[in-house]
Amino acid sequence: MRLPIYQLDAFTDRAFGGNPAAVCLLDDWLDDATLQAIALENNLSETAFLVAGDNGDYELRWFTPTLEIDLCGHATLASAWLILHRLTPDRAEVGFATRSGRLTVRRSDSGLRMDFPADPPASIRMPHGLEAVLGVMPEAVLMGRYCMAVLATEAEVRAMAPDLDGIGELTAGHLIVTAKGAQVDFVSRFFAPGSGIAEDPVTGSAHCILAPYWAKRLGKRSLTARQVSARGGELRCTLDGDRVGLTGSCTFYMEGWIEIPDGGCPSPRQAAD
């Protein structure tokens, strides 16, 4: 079985920046073990799998190298870019049926705008030992889908080298760190050892938490954001009630084919046996 596969850099307008995502087009769903094996082989933060529906929408699922996840921004952006720029360039928008409901992506003057559910975080007591894990005292700790630590300065966010094992123990394996930006409204980084990712380069789902927080704190609905990982990426965030608009660009990198053996891919345990 041969399957088309593409790789794009999301939330960037330059090659080798942003967050790389693989996008794999399927006629029908393969078994979960095969999907997971493909994502592990790709060894990117996420691989997106698409199956076209009858109404022009697509079914969309996302896998890290270790597990399927409920929501992923950069691989959704990459999937939409592929559909709207390569597969059906006459379309203005595309919808996706996902584990987080129907998500839409449409063209805008500054890239592609994704419509995602907002996830306003609530303040929590700082987990014991978090300061030692981060190497700095947070101003506040909040919880949405992921735990979020607010730092005093952008410089602290950029300089951070946290204890990943500690993040796994104290925050269920996922942690956003953020601060007010010097040249943008806010900056962030995202550590996800619980999903098999030490640091994610640019994380759309994290901005479903970040955007409501900074919109309230700064008193504005439209914000500019930069994820200050080594690769880096830029987003525009717009809060609209219980939804967040995330706008970004993509750079196309690669296309090719996957060769799937008859019977699908064995699990790692089966392969070892």
Which residues belong to the active site? 46
Residue type, 172: A
Q: Is 266 helix (H, G, I), strand (E, B) or coil?
A: coil
Q: For residue 96, report the phi and psi dihedrals to the nearest 5 degrees.
A: -130, 135
Q: For residue 229, report the phi and psi dihedrals to the nearest 5 degrees.
A: -75, 180
Distance CA 188, CA 147 (A): 13
Distance CA 31, CA 95 (A): 23
Strand positions, DSSP E, the chain: 2-10, 19-26, 46-52, 58-63, 68-69, 93-98, 101-108, 111-117, 122-123, 140-143, 147-150, 175-180, 186-192, 197-200, 222-227, 233-240, 243-248, 250-259
Distance CA 157, CA 65 (A): 26
Look at phi and psi of residue 221 and say left if phi exceeds 0, alpha if psi is from -120 to 50, else beta: alpha
Length of the chain: 273
- In the chain, the N- to C-terminal Cα span, in Å, equals 24
Q: For residue 272, report the phi and psi dihedrals to the nearest 5 degrees.
A: -65, -35
